[in-house]
C-alpha cells in the first residue's frame, strides 16, 4: 500500500442512495479526480468492486506494478475502494488490478468512470480534467423552444468517422475540424439537429460505436474531451441541437470492459437468459441491481450536464423490454406474472426518463423501439415509459417497401403508404431513415428506387416530400441528402464526388429547400403528434395512385394542403376537396426544374369553388406533376 493516502470524496456521499439506486451523479465521486492533499498534487481514485479482496491502481507511473498502489476499502460494506496517489496527474495512464474473493480470480480493468481513454486498440484509462469555457449560454437559455414537441425537428444522423475523411492524410477528421466542416454543412442544409452515432469510447470500429467500454469518455479517435465540447458548443452557437446515441442495452465482453469486473457478474445479469445477447455477442446490464441503475442514470445525466447534449436516442429499447427478445422457447424465463415483459428493465426506463426530464426539462429522450409495446412516449404518471419520442419503424418498413415497387403496381398497394395514419398519433413518432436502412445488402435509399435515373431521383424527391409532410419529426442518415448510390461503409468517406454531377447537385438543393419549407410552415410541426394536425382529403384514389391530405397548425390560417402523385403520369385538372373557400397558392413542388424535375407547375393562384368533393364543401382543380409532391397554402 505504498504511497496511497486515506482520502475520500465520499464524505458527503449518501451510501443509502447509491445502494437504493437513487444516486444520479456518481461521476462526481467515482473514477479519477485530480486533487491536492496536504499541499501535494495527485489523483484520487475510487472504484466499486464489492467482490474484490484487493484493488491496485497500476499505470505508467508505477511500471504497471500490482501492489505498488493498493486502494483502501471503505468501512461501510459498500464495496467502494478508494485512495489518493501523490504526483499522479493529468495524462497518466492507469487501470485497476483486481483480485477477487471468488477463487482468487484476477482482472485488469479500465476505469468505468474514466473521462478519457487511450486510442484503440490500446485500452488504458487516462487521468483527465478540463476547464473548458462554454460559449453557448444563449442556446442553453432558449433551447426549450428548439427541442419542444411542437417545434420543427429535422435530424441529420452522423457517423463521425465516415462522414468525411481528411483527403491528403486519409484519416478521421478531428472534433475541431468537424466543428468547422460539419457544423457549416448542417447549417447550410437547414437541419435543426445532429444525431451522433455513439461517440462514447468503444474498442472495435466495425461495431460503429454500439459496443461501449468507456461510458464517460468521448472517443479518443477524434481528439480530447474538451475538443468534443468545442464541437457541441459550435453546433449550439449556430442554433443546431445535438442528440447522442446512448446504449444502455448491452456492452461488450472485452477483457478491459465491464464484464466480470471484480471476478463476479457485477454489471451484467448473472443468468445468461437475461444477461447475454446472442445477436450481438454482448452482455446485458442487470437492471434489477440498484447500483447499476445508479450507474446508467448517472451516465445519461453526465452527457446532458457535462457535454450540454440536447437529447439521448436510446438504442435497442425493444431488446430491453422483452425477456424473449431474439430467443427461442426454453431460452428465456417468464416474469413473476408469467409474462414476457422484463419488469426490471421497464422500471429502469421509467426511472431514467423521470430523472432526465426532472433535471433537464428542455431535452428529449428518443426510443429506438420496434414493437407494439404501448405507451413508450407517454408520461410515466400516465402509465407510459416516459420517452419524449419513439422511432416509427412500421412507417419506415412500409414506406421503403412501397417506394421500391414499380409505379405500375402501386395501385394495388396503396394501403401500405396510408396505413401509418391509422396509428400515427398513438405515440410521439419520429420518422427514421437511419443508418440501419443503408447497410448489409439493403441498398442505398436511391438504389431502391425503380426506373431510369430521372425516375429514381423523382421517386426519391417524392419519398422525402411525403416524409416531411407526414406527421412526426424527421431523421435521415448522412449521404441520403446527396443521393448516395452506394451502401454506407463505415471505413470510407461519403461519396462527396457525386456532387460533381448535376442530378446529385439538384437533389442536394432539393433537400436544403425541403428543410426550409418544413421549418417555415407551422402546419407541418406545431401539431405533429396531434390528431387535430392532420386531415385526409383522399387516401383511396388507388386508380390514379394519388394521396392528398391537410396539415394544420395552431392558427386556423396555418394550413398546408399536400398531394402526392405516386406515378410518372401527369394528372391535369385533378380535383381536390377542400375545407374552406379562397385561393390555392402553390408553395412547394418536388418537380421544380431547380431540383432536376420536369417543371410541371400550377398557375400562381387557383380558384376554390363551392363544389363538393372528397366529402368537403369546396374544391379546386390542380395539376399534379409526375412522381411529385406538391403543397399549397389557402389564401383568402
Kindly list the catalytic residues: 315, 368
Reduce the DSSP state of residue 556 to 3 states and report it: coil
Total Cβ atoms within 10 A of residue 539 = 17
Give 494's Cβ-side CA count (13 Å radius).
21
CB 58 within 8 A of CB 68: yes
Q: For residue 248, give every residue at least 6 positions away whose Cβ sits within 8 Å of its Cβ, in sequence order, or none.
A: 285, 296, 299, 300, 314, 315, 320, 348, 352
DSSP letter string, 5-24? B---S-TT--HHHHHTT---
Cell 411542437, residue?
150
Cell 445502494, residue?
19
Chain centre distance of CA 218: 16
Q: For residue 381, give every residue at least 6 positions away whose Cβ sits within 8 Å of its Cβ, in sequence order, or none.
A: none
Spell out the SS3 assignment of 158-172.
ECHHHHCECCCCCCE
Total Cβ atoms within 10 A of residue 458 = 24
Give 453's Cβ-side CA count (13 Å radius).
10
Give 201's Cβ-side CA count (13 Å radius).
32
DSSP letter string, 57-75? EEETTTTT-TTSSBPEEPT
CA-based angle 546:548:552, to the nearest 5? 165
Cell 495527485, residue?
42
Burial 487-520 (b: 16+ CB within 10 A, else e): ebeeeebbbeebeeeebbebbbebbebbbebbbe
Total Cβ atoms within 10 A of residue 36 = 10
Reduce the DSSP state of residue 551 to 3 states and report it: strand
Amino acid at each position: 500500500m505504498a504511497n496511497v493516502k486515506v482520502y475520500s470524496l465520499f464524505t458527503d456521499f449518501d451510501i443509502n442512495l447509491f445502494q437504493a439506486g437513487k444516486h444520479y451523479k456518481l461521476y462526481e465521486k467515482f473514477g479519477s479526480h485530480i486533487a491536492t492533499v496536504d499541499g501535494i498534487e495527485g489523483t484520487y481514485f475510487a472504484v466499486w468492486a464489492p467482490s474484490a479482496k484487493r484493488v491496485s491502481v497500476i499505470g505508467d507511473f508505477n511500471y504497471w506494478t500490482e501492489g505498488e498502489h493498493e486502494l483502501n476499502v471503505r468501512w461501510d460494506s459498500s464495496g467502494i475502494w478508494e485512495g489518493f496517489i501523490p504526483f499522479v496527474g493529468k495524462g497518466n495512464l492507469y487501470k485497476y488490478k483486481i483480485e477477487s474473493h471468488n477463487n482468487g480470480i484476477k482482472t485488469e480493468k479500465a476505469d468505468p468512470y474514466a473521462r478519457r481513454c487511450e486510442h484503440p486498440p490500446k485500452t488504458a484509462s487516462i487521468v483527465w480534467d478540463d476547464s473548458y469555457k462554454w460559449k453557448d449560454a444563449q442556446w442553453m437559455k432558449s433551447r426549450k423552444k428548439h427541442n419542444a414537441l411542437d417545434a420543427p425537428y429535422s435530424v441529420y444522423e452522423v457517423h463521425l468517422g465516415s462522414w468525411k475523411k481528411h483527403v491528403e492524410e486519409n484519416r478521421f477528421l478531428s472534433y475541431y475540424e468537424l466543428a468547422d466542416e460539419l457544423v457549416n454543412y448542417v447549417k447550410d442544409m437547414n437541419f435543426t439537429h445532429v444525431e451522433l452515432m455513439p461517440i462514447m469510447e468503444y474498442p472495435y470500429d466495425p461495431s460503429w460505436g454500439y459496443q461501449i467500454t468507456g461510458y464517460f469518455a468521448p472517443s479518443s479517435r477524434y481528439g480530447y474531451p474538451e475538443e468534443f465540447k468545442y464541437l457541441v458548443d459550435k453546433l449550439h452557437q449556430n442554433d443546431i441541437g445535438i442528440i447522442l446515441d446512448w446504449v444502455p442495452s448491452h456492452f461488450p465482453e472485452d477483457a478491459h470492459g465491464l464484464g466480470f469486473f471484480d471476478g463476479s457478474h457485477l454489471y451484467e445479469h448473472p443468468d445468461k437468459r437475461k444477461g447475454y445477447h446472442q445477436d450481438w455477442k454482448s452482455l446485458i446490464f442487470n437492471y434489477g441491481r440498484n447500483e447499476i441503475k445508479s450507474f446508467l442514470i448517472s451516465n445519461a445525466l453526465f452527457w446532458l450536464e457535462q457535454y450540454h447534449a440536447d437529447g439521448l436516442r436510446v438504442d435497442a429499447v425493444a431488446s430491453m423490454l422483452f425477456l424473449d427478445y431474439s430467443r427461442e422457447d426454453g431460452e428465456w424465463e417468464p416474469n413473476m406474472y408469467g409474462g414476457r415483459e422484463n419488469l426490471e428493465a421497464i422500471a429502469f426506463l421509467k426511472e431514467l426518463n423521470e430523472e432526465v426530464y426532472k433535471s433537464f426539462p428542455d431535452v428529449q429522450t428518443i426510443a429506438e423501439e420496434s414493437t407494439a409495446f404501448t405507451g413508450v412516449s407517454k408520461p410515466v404518471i400516465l402509465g407510459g415509459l416516459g420517452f419524449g419520442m419513439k422511432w416509427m419503424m412500421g412507417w419506415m418498413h412500409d414506406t421503403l417497401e412501397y417506394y421500391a415497387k414499380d409505379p405500375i403496381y402501386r395501385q394495388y398497394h396503396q394501403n401500405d403508404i396510408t396505413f401509418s395514419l391509422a396509428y400515427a398519433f398513438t405515440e410521439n413518432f419520429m420518422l427514421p431513415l437511419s443508418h440501419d436502412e443503408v447497410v448489409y445488402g439493403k441498398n442505398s435509399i436511391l438504389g431502391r428506387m425503380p426506373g431510369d435515373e430521372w425516375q429514381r431521383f423523382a421517386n426519391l424527391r417524392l419519398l422525402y416530400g411525403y416524409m416531411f409532410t407526414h406527421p412526426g419529426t424527421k431523421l435521415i442518415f448522412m449521404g441520403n441528402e446527396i443521393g448516395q448510390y452506394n451502401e454506407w461503409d463505415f471505413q470510407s468517406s461519403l461519396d462527396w464526388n457525386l456532387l460533381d454531377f448535376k442530378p446529385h447537385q439538384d437533389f442536394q438543393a432539393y433537400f436544403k429547400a425541403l428543410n426550409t419549407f418544413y421549418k417555415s410552415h407551422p402546419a407541418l410541426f406545431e401539431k405533429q403528434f396531434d390528431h387535430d394536425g392532420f386531415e385526409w382529403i383522399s387516401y383511396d384514389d388507388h386508380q390514379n395512385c394519388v394521396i392528398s391530405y391537410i396539415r394544420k397548425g395552431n392558427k386556423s390560417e396555418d394550413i398546408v394542403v399536400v398531394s402526392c402523385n405516386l406515378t410518372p403520369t401527369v394528372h391535369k385538372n385533378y380535383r381536390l376537396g377542400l375545407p374552406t373557400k379562397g385561393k390555392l397558392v402553390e408553395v412547394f413542388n418536388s418537380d421544380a426544374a431547380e431540383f432536376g424535375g420536369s417543371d410541371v407547375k400550377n398557375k400562381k393562384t387557383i380558384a376554390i369553388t363551392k363544389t363538393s368533393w372528397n366529402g368537403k364543401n369546396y374544391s379546386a382543380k390542380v395539376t399534379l406533376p409526375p412522381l411529385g409532391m406538391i403543397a399549397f397554402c389557402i389564401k383568402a
